[in-house]
Chains A and B, each alone.
Chain A
Amino acid sequence: MNISSILFYAISALILGAGILAVTSVKIFRAAIWLLFSLIGIAALYFWMQVEFIAAIQIVVYVGGIVVLIIFSIFLTQQSGKEMNSPALSKKIFSALAALFGTAFVHNLIVHYDGFKYVSANPFNPNVAAIGTQMLSTTSHGFILPFEVVSMLLLAAMVGCIVIAMRPTNGNATDTNNETVSNTNTLINKD
Chain B
Amino acid sequence: MQDIPLSQILFVSTFLFFIGMYGLFTRRNLITMLMSIELMLNSVNINFVAFNKYLFPDNLDGLFFTLFIITIAAAEAAVAIAIIINLYRSHNSIDVDDATEMKY
Contacts and interface: CB of A to CB of B under 8 A. Distances in A.
Contacts of B73: 61-62, 66
Contacts of A160: 79, 82
Query: B interface, by DSSP: helix, strand, loop or mixed?
Result: helix
Given A2-B3, A120-B56, A66 B74 contact: yes
Q: Identify which of A2, A5, A49, A122 gathers the most chain B CB atoms within 10 Å of its CB.
A: A49
Contacts of B81: 69-70, 72-73, 161
Given A70-B31, A119-B6, A99 B16 contact: no
* B contact residues, range: 35 or more
Contact of B20 (A1, A19, A39): A19
Contacts of A24: 23
Interface in A1-60: 1-2, 4-5, 8, 12, 15-16, 19-20, 22-24, 28, 31-32, 35, 38-39, 42, 45-46, 49-51, 53-54, 57-58
B94 A77 contact: yes
A23 B26 contact: yes
Contact of A84 (B29, B36, B83): B29
B6 A116 contact: yes
Interface string A93-126: 0111011101100110011000011011011101
Given A4-B3, A4-B4, A45-B46, A22 B39 contact: yes
A16 B19 contact: yes
The 6 closest A-B pairs by CB, nearest first: A23-B23, A124-B57, A157-B75, A95-B25, A165-B82, A161-B82
Interface of B: 1-12, 14-16, 18-23, 25-29, 31-32, 34-36, 38-39, 42, 45-46, 49-50, 52-58, 60, 63-64, 66-68, 70-79, 81-86, 88-89, 94-95
